[in-house]
Structure 1
Amino acid sequence: MKEELFKKLNEKQSRMVEIRRYLHEHPELSFHEENTAKYIADFYQKLDCDVRTHVGGNGVVVTIDTLKPGKTLAIRADFDALPIHEETGLPFASKNEGVMHACGHDGHTAYMLILAESLIEMKDELTGKIVILHQHAEETPPGGAIQMIQDGALDGVDNVLGIHVMSTMKTGEVSYREGAIQTGRSYFKLKVQGVGGHGSSPHMANDAIVAASEFVVAVQTVISRRLNPFDVGSITIGSFDGKGSFNVIKDSVELEGDVRSMSEETRTTIEKEIRRIVGGLEAMFGVTCELDYKNDYPVLNNDEALTHFVVDSIKSSAIPEITAVTRCEPQPPSEDFAYYAKERPSVFFYVGAMPADGHFYPHHHPKFDINEDALLIASKAMGACVLDYLKGETNK
């Protein structure tokens, strides 16, 4: 069956590229992907499958039911873009000003559509069910994954697999890691309220900038002095809004920060310590503070047994375009696929998509691009896992 599937994918490779380029030209931001969702749903209209639209918002769930007993595997591809002005100079660059597919989600959708079409054509040879999760809003909290889950996208699903193409990894390489593989993320906004005044009379005011600056310095000690040195965590103050006149003492300042961690225990510790520092700030400077602290995407954990299955499936399939299957280091960014992994044993792995000349830009860069050969590789790697899964290889 793999030979048959791979033959179909080879024959349809040019269509994958065409779809990717069309989507790249017409990107849409998270929670605003109406046209993309319609494009995806329309693709399936004449195919032998069940299509459910507006799942959790703009999500599309496609079910391929073989009408034969077996397990149910979900495979996921996201389709939102980013608020970035594209600078690639590609002939198929974004036509939507200030919006760009700068993370590869256009490629995810393109390979998944063609893979799904090919699996539908082979459904008489398969058992069980395949659920295609075309997910909106991966880039922006609360994220489309949790919304789709709440709307029943995982009902009856046993396991979930996902792929991300990576411009930073060589094309031809597939990378994986069991356990914690991508960070959990938190966000906070802090307003420090003091008393404004004239720069010549600081004793008659209470300088919010001084208090807020102390917070910026003190909060870094959470990582260096409150975490076990073997734990992973980071705190970034990305916004400090203290702009005013040079001779006016600011009465209030607003800060915004980003927190990353690789375990729920670490995430809890960081939040507790930040809240404690905020309390100390009020006592030390006599200011009042308003802290809005939100935990969003959890740590992404790959199921160990299922990870081994994925690796064995890809290696044993002898896919000619794959030059190496390697265990990689954990990845610093967060990913809302983590919500699926909290609900079902899941695996998220990576397909290298570095341009052929070796010169690449990282994800979310205005010049980001992928090697389109990665689309065929992703479709074959995921397709091999699907076929092995449905014939019961995971039970061995």
Structure 2
Amino acid sequence: MSEWLSANLKQLLREEEAQMIAWRRHLHQYPELSFREEKTPAMIADILRSCELDEVRTQVGGRGVRGLLRGAAPGPTVALRADFDALPIQDQKEVPYKSRIPGVMHACGHDGHTATLLGLARVLARHRQHLKGNVVFIFQHAEEENPGGAQQMVADGVLEGVDAIFGAHLWASEPVGKVLTAPGPLMANVDDFLLEIKGKGGHAAMPEQTVDAIVVGSHIVTALQTIASRNVSPLEHVVVTVGTFQAGDNANVIADTCTMSGTVRTFLPQLRELAERRLKEIVNGTAAMLGATVSIRYDRGYPAVINSEREAAIAWEAAVAAVGAEQVERMKPTMGGEDFSYYLQQVPGAFIFVGAGNPEKGAAYPHHHPRFDIDEQAMLISAEVLGRTALRYMQVTGGDGA
């Protein structure tokens, strides 16, 4: 049944390209922060209703949107996910679609993800007679802020009846035209910590009467690096980063307190456990050795994104059909995190990266940069890859010989 739709998908999506760009630019001008999204999900729901989907649910898990499209013939149910929250960053680009909300911008491409999936929804809805199965369109709030929207949406039944899920991230570090994915671990477990060290302040000229919180903190920063260098095999992956270090108010005063925060990134569950245990042992031991006390807050964040074998292979085949074998590459694991992982804990699936960088169009800055932008051509590619992935999944698992 899907043979005609597969053969014509590229052209059908091209007919929606101008609309996808218009949606993306509107969202870029009016970004909304995690857990504060109001106008964005309302806009998404209105567009999905205009597509005459079989069901459109709002406020899923809080602020998410779920659309269900039933195909003409029975078959598996495939979920496709996009996120739509922005970041607390001032947009410094000089483009007509620059953010109009002070201090808020789409600096990670979520506006493009949403516009992409909306365009694909319009095409599939118009040609549902060619679908042997169903498609669930998941538009997720609050990906950028732990605990994230995915966990809430899963708890609220967003995956009910779903057999597999796929998602795509527009990836500015790769040139437009490239598509990357791989089976197995793809993105890391993301944990955060906050340390509050208590020493004994005093005059800088009389250090013997004090417990210098800065010295204690400095020793801790150095010692934490031994987790990666001495506790974990060099063939495995772990990152321990101290991102903030705040102490002291005056040049001739020894600080009595020091506050530090950072992040721990791993892939394997056993390394996640090891890193947390060793961090606490090192921090407590170092503080005690130097006469200070310390409180530790350790927060488990997003789990690792782990693509399932079959679904990653299906996504790979779909990408090859969309852009050609020479443009599809195996994704190297990244220590970044993504709450798409919560969906993959419930059903098999795969996460895909679609190149969106192009210096000639100003798309030359990394994600979360105040001048971040994408080559909008990447949205067309991403829509085709996701569409072909859904069709291919229906073919492989539903017995469609097309």
User: Which TM-score band (shorter chain)?
Assistant: over 0.9
Match of 1:355 in 2: 358
- Structure 2: any 5+ residue segments left out of the alignment? none
Aligned with residue 335 of structure 2, among 311, 332, 335: 332
What TM-score does the superposition give when structure 2 sets the normalisation length? 0.94
In 2: Cα distance, 1:322 partner to 1:351 partner: 14
CA shift digits 1:201-225 (9 cap, x unpaired): 3233222211111111111111101
Select 1:273's aligned residue among 272, 278, 289: 278
Q: How far, CA to CA, are the matches of 1:66 and 1:354 in structure 2?
A: 35
Aligned to 1:3: 7
1:69 is paired with a residue of what secondary structure?
strand
Contact 2:171 2:353 in 1 (8 A): yes
State the alpha-carbon separation in 1 of the partners of residues 83 and 302 from structure 2. Answer: 15
**Equivalent of 1:42 in 37, 42, 46:** 46
What is residue 76 of structure 1 aligned with on the other side?
A: 81
Deviations 1:274-327 (A, max 9, x none): 010122123202221110001111111111111111212332x3x368861111
For the 8 Å contact 2:318–2:389, the answer to whether it is kept is yes
Q: Which amino acid aligns with 1:194?
A: G
Q: Which runs of 5 or more residues in structure 1 are unaligned?
A: none
1:299 paired with 2:304, answer yes
Match of 1:125 in 2: 130
After alignment, is 127-136 or 352-361 more displaced? 352-361
User: Which deviations, in whole Å up to 9, do the C-alpha atoms of 1:243-288 show, x marking residues without a partner?
Assistant: 3122222221110011111222211111110010122123202221
Retained in 1: the 8 A contact 2:132–2:398? Answer: no
Which residue in the other structure is 1:382 paired with? 386
Tell me the residue number matched to 2:27.
23
Cα deviation code 1:145-182 (max 9, x no counterpart)? 11111111112111110001111111111111111111
Q: Where do residues 196-235 of structure 1 align in structure 2 (5 Å cutoff)?
A: 196-235=201-240
SS at match of 1:246: coil
Counterpart of 2:171 in structure 1 is 166
CA distance in 1, matches of 2:325, 2:233: 39
CA contact (8 A) 2:163 2:348 kept: yes
From 180, 197, 207, the counterpart of 1:192: 197
Matched, 1:373 2:377: yes
Q: Distance in 2 between matches of 1:325 and 1:126?
A: 26
Report the Cα offset of residue 368 of structure 1.
1.0
The 3-state SS of whatever aligns with 2:136 is strand
Distance 1:309 1:357, change over 3 A: same
Q: Distance in 1 between matches of 2:244 and 2:329?
A: 38
Q: Distance in 2 between matches of 1:26 and 1:126?
A: 34
| Cα pair 1:184 1:297 within 8 Å, conserved | yes
CA contact (8 A) 1:192 1:288 kept: yes
Partner of 2:107: 102
Amino acid at match of 1:386: A
Query: Which region of structure 1 is more displaced relative to structure 2, 305-314 or 364-373?
Result: 305-314
TM-score by length of 1: 0.95
Which whole-Å CA distance do the structure 2 matches of 1:257 and 1:269 have between them?
17
The CA distance in 2 between the partners of 1:259 and 1:7, in whole Å, is 44
CA distance in 2, matches of 1:2, 1:213: 59
Q: Give deviations 1:351-374, integer Å, cap 9, x for gaps.
A: 111126286111111111111111
Q: Secondary structure at the match of 2:103?
A: coil
Aligned residues between the structures: 394
Which segment drifts farther, 89-98 or 59-68?
A: 59-68
Q: 1:361 to 1:322 in 2, by over 3 A?
A: farther
- How far is 1:19 from its partner? 0.6
Deviation at 1:343, TM superposition (A): 1.5
Q: Partner of 1:167: helix, strand, or coil?
A: strand
Root mean square deviation, CA, Å: 1.8
- In structure 2, the CA distance between the partners of 1:161 and 1:203, relative to structure 1 (3 Å rule), is same
Native 8 Å contact 1:188 1:294 kept in 2:
yes
Q: 1:275–1:356: structure 2 CA closer, same or farther, 3 Å change rule?
A: closer
Residue identity in the other structure for 1:87: Q
Partner residue in 2 for 1:342 = 345
The aligned runs of 1:143-162 (5 Å cut-off) are 143-162=148-167
Residue 116 of structure 1: how far off its partner (Å): 0.6
- Measure, in 1, the Cα distance between the counterparts of 2:223 and 2:233: 18
Deviations 1:40-67 (A, max 9, x none): 1111223322111111111111111236
> Structure 2 counterpart of 1:94, which letter?
S
